[in-house]
Chain A
Amino acid sequence: MALFVSALIIGVFLGTIYGLMAFGIVASYRISRVVNLGQAGVAALGATVFYWMTAQWGAPVIVSLIAAVLVGAVCGGLLGWANMLMADWPKAFIMIFTLSVCLMLFALVDHILPPTTIAPVSPFGTGGFNFALTFVAAHQIGTFAVTCAVVLGATALLRYTRFGLFVRAIYDDPAGAATLGIPLAVYVIGVWALAGGMAGLAGILIANRTLLDTVLLLFVSVYALAGAILGGLESFALAFAGGVLIGTSEGILGGGVLGILPPGTEQLGTVVIMAIAVFYAGTKRRHLAHLQT
């Protein structure tokens, strides 16, 4: 039981971070129809800025957190601006452009960081408590709470504000929105900045577990992309749910809940669940479309 609870907690922790990144991927996809592979680079840069400010400069955690998220937002905004400049490029080209930016950000991060692999401190401290014979870290609880709050806040922003109304108008028909006088550039860059900020935050939250390893962060980003696509790339709620599904299945099935399995096979369950999920989502896409946020 304790093993299950522990695996579940890890899974939900990972899943909410995947969901947070997936939310950003869906936001930038819906406004530009471009799959943003730059999220991993932005996440790595955000986590690096956070680490640098807290560990090297001794800045307060909250200031470092805000600064890192802002750096992520600026990076995201710049990506959005570049995307606007490449409006007449094939979408696949822009996707590869975001990948090249991601690699360059990885290079920047590798250049900034010391040669040894390090982990940023948790913004939520090192405390925790026991639950069902399982230690629940404050970082896990904080990550869950902050992620849910950010996703709910972003959803409310998009659903109930004038900004959100305009963004949704652009989602549906960019040309039509432009004829209504909505400044496309401002909103497109704004949404990409929002996605960048989310990636920066996700990087800070996940790096405490994965260390500041760019390859692992790319893995996180790919899982987030898978979550976003499982959600149909149209629905924020489903993207978040897709991320949580992947994270939870990874936590439970990879956590040895089913006993000691031969090497490698403990991951087989995650693979099978992802396969089932993608076939369900892919073949029931029309059915899921009405759940759009």
Chain B
Amino acid sequence: MSAPATSSVAGGALNRLAASLNLSRPRFSPLTLLLTATLAGFLFLPNDLLYAGSSSVVAGLIGIGLFLPIAALRELPFNGAGLAGLAAYLFAYNGSQGGIGHHLIGILVAVICVVGLSLVGGLASLAVTGLYLVVATLVIQVGIEKVIFSIPVLTGGASGRSVYQPDFSGWFSTQRAIYVVAAVVVFTAMFAVHRLLRSKLGFNAVLVGHVPEGAQATGLRNWAVKLLVFGFSGLLIAVAGCMSAFVNGTPPPPFSFGIIYSVIFIAIPIASGMRDLSSIVLLAAVFVGLPITLEHFDIRIVPDLLSGVILLSALLLARNRDRIGSLVRGGIARLRGQQPASPEAEMELTGIATNGAAANGGSRVPLSDLTTVAPPVVAPSSRISGAAALEGRQITVRFGGVVAVDGVSVRVGPGERVGIVGANGACKTTLFNALTGFVPCEGTVMLGGEDITGRAPFLRARDGVRRTFQQPRLADILTVGQNVICGHGAETPERVERIAWLLDHFGLAAMKDVPVIALPFGVRREVELIRALSVKPQVVMLDEPVSGLEDEEADRLVDVLIGLQAREGWGLLVIEHDLKFITAIAQHLMVMEDGHLLVQGPIDSVMKEPEVRRVYLGEAVTV
């Protein structure tokens, strides 16, 4: 068995990167404090500068709205400015018709329309991704800009349409009141996004965006999650658009919502380093507020030059943030007369092990405990009651003219353990993919006597067909704890307790807060297995589960799986090359060659088959 080769990979730099991406720990970082101070400081600015503050926080809200699809789904929507502009014009159009009622209707109409258009972008993301989605969102931006913004009735022409602004005098002036409203709205939105990112829904969105197959294997309806993210993003941008009209008294001219601003709005969350919401709002504040402030003091700088320099500075700051943070902490430590912490010590303080193997040495519960301590049983949301068998009848998979799997039948009953072996290229994984719905196939797939052949992968997962992949499909930027809680179903106390039990029994409890990117390959496999077992399955399908594990870890895996299966009675289907593992765990063995089933039966008899020894085991092997 190969030793984990990832301890070197999980080196300091990688760990630091992982730590920086960690969404788990709500921290009151210096940046958050700086943002709070900045927002509070704006309030004491002279009246004529408060506009800079109001505009800054509104731009920050657009940045946060765009941050969601970037961070969770890794998609770049290039239509933020257009959507914000549309909201501003719709709000102003309705608001200018009358009093508060019309303004509320305006907000409602703006939110509905912008969320709807954002959902159109979300629908596009179901068909095309990456740079193609960039163009799709650009199309929406161009459509808004060229078509909708050229309707004078909507935009109010050159003079625009006025919206209500409060009328105060004295220190708490109109501008101050507007700023307070804008800041409160943006702060509330930031808090909501902050909570969302640290909720199960947020983790699910990240899983869908980073490893769609992994998300489906946990029962997530990917398209719904994507639409939800785009919808929420649209909601934030719609609110920002309405705020923009409110802050200005009338929506800015269409040029202010043009394509260049869409590009810049996308640049703000990226250049902020994509780490926390505070830095996005801070960068937006500098980007929008600084030119207005400089102009106030009659300091003339070509606007584009200032914008370019700000973006460049933000990139350099984001890139060197760890170094700067370390220097600042070191300086503070020296001022206090303490020894500055080394980077490795800092990693340990933040809960990130610098060596995954060392971290893996967490205490494990002795085997005997498996029989005395039972995990809570969390039933899946399956329509199939009781223990059910998974059966594939005459499964055939074609890729164009190539027949990858040719009429293979397989059955795993409750409490049974079936192994599949075969040389590389025997299409064992393709058979798995067919059984779990990831590739279309001919033949019939039955679960508990019900035909599930045409059912989507996430529905099969919900029915209790849980699987792992050859390359673990985990969201790297999430921690172990966040990855295993991901998936369909509520975060009930029973589920949390079951996961804790599984983490304990795999020796990973101490690593709950470690981002999986910092983990060795074998441990990542175990995390994926825990995720698959986080609800009681009907059938568990493992694709090369011990690859990357040490011998003792593999032995442990056998013990945990057999112990848990004996207790819960699910079926187990395993693909593995490791003969020691497969002979230890499987009762029944299938041998595949070139997409065909060569032979199957009880493991002892199959191992003695001359044909099996010829094609797979080799003549010298004695069982």
Contact = CB atoms under 8 A, between A and B. Distances in A.
B304 A106 contact: yes
13 contacts: A89-B319, A93-B271, A99-B264, A103-B305, A222-B138, A264-B147, A267-B146, A274-B135, A278-B128, A278-B135, A278-B139, A282-B135, A283-B127
A103 B307 contact: yes
A278 B132 contact: yes
Contacts of B271: 93, 96
B131 A103 contact: no
B181 interface: no
A215 B263 CA distance: 12
Contact of A104 (B132, B139, B305): B305
Interface of A: 35, 37, 89, 92-93, 95-97, 99-104, 106-108, 110-111, 214-215, 218-219, 222, 225-226, 229-230, 233, 263-265, 267-268, 270-271, 274-275, 278-279, 281-283, 285
A93 B308 contact: no
A230 B611 CA distance: 52
Nearest to B70: A92
A218 B143 contact: no
A274 B258 CA distance: 18
Contacts of B302: 107, 110-111
Contact of B309 (A37, A104, A222): A104
Nearest to B124: A279
Contact of B136 (A233, A264, A282): A282
A270 B146 contact: yes
Contacts of B270: 92-93, 95-96
Nearest to B130: A282
Contacts of A96: 267, 270-271, 311, 315
Contacts of A274: 135, 138-139, 142
A267 B150 contact: yes
Main secondary structure, interface of A, reads: helix
Contact of B146 (A106, A233, A271, A283): A271
Given A268-B143, A282-B132, A282-B133, 16 more contacts: A37-B263, A93-B270, A96-B311, A99-B264, A106-B304, A215-B258, A225-B138, A229-B131, A229-B132, A263-B150, A267-B143, A268-B147, A270-B142, A278-B135, A281-B132, A282-B128
Given A96-B267, A268-B143, A107 B304 contact: yes
A271 B142 CA distance: 7
Contact of B304 (A93, A103, A278, A282): A103
Given A35-B131, A93-B319, A97-B315, A226 B304 contact: no
B89 to A, nearest CB: 13
Interface residues of B, number: 44
A226 B135 contact: yes
B159 to A, nearest CB: 17
Nearest to A262: B151
Nearest to A99: B267
Nearest to B74: A92
Contacts of B264: 99
A95 B269 CA distance: 13
B260 interface: yes
A165 B583 CA distance: 52
Contacts of A226: 135, 138-139
B401 interface: no
Main secondary structure, interface of B, reads: helix
Contacts of A101: 308
A218 B135 contact: no
Contact of B147 (A111, A233, A271): A271
Contacts of A103: 304-305, 307-308, 311
Shortest 7 CB-CB contacts between residues of A and residues of B: A282-B128, A107-B305, A282-B132, A103-B308, A104-B308, A264-B150, A267-B146
Interface of B: 76, 124, 127-129, 131-136, 138-139, 142-143, 146-152, 255, 258-260, 263-264, 267, 270-271, 302-309, 311-312, 315, 318-319
B152 A263 contact: yes
Which of A92, A100, A229, A233 has the most B CB atoms < 10 Å from its CB? A100
B263 A107 contact: no
Contacts of B128: 278-279, 282-283
B261 to A, nearest CB: 10
A273 to B, nearest CB: 9
Nearest to A274: B139
Contacts of B255: 215
A263 B152 CA distance: 9
Nearest to B13: A88
Given A268-B147, A278-B135, A283-B127, A219 B259 contact: yes
Contact of A218 (B259, B312, B319): B259
Contacts of A267: 142-143, 146-147, 150
B267 A271 contact: no
Nearest to B152: A263
A230 B309 CA distance: 31
A107 B124 CA distance: 35
A92 B311 CA distance: 13
A278 B311 CA distance: 29
Contact of A107 (B131, B148, B303): B303
Which of A230, A275, A278, A279 has the most B CB atoms < 10 Å from its CB? A278
A154 to B, nearest CB: 22
Contacts of A92: 76, 270
B364 to A, nearest CB: 37
Nearest to B311: A100
Nearest to B153: A263
A279 B136 contact: yes
A222 B306 CA distance: 22
A265 B151 CA distance: 9
A37 to B, nearest CB: 7
A263 B148 CA distance: 9
A83 B122 CA distance: 32
Contacts of B259: 218-219, 222
Contacts of A97: 311-312, 315
A99 B311 contact: yes
Which of B146, B152, B259, B318 has the most A CB atoms < 10 Å from its CB? B146
Contacts of A110: 302, 304
Contacts of A229: 131-132, 134-135
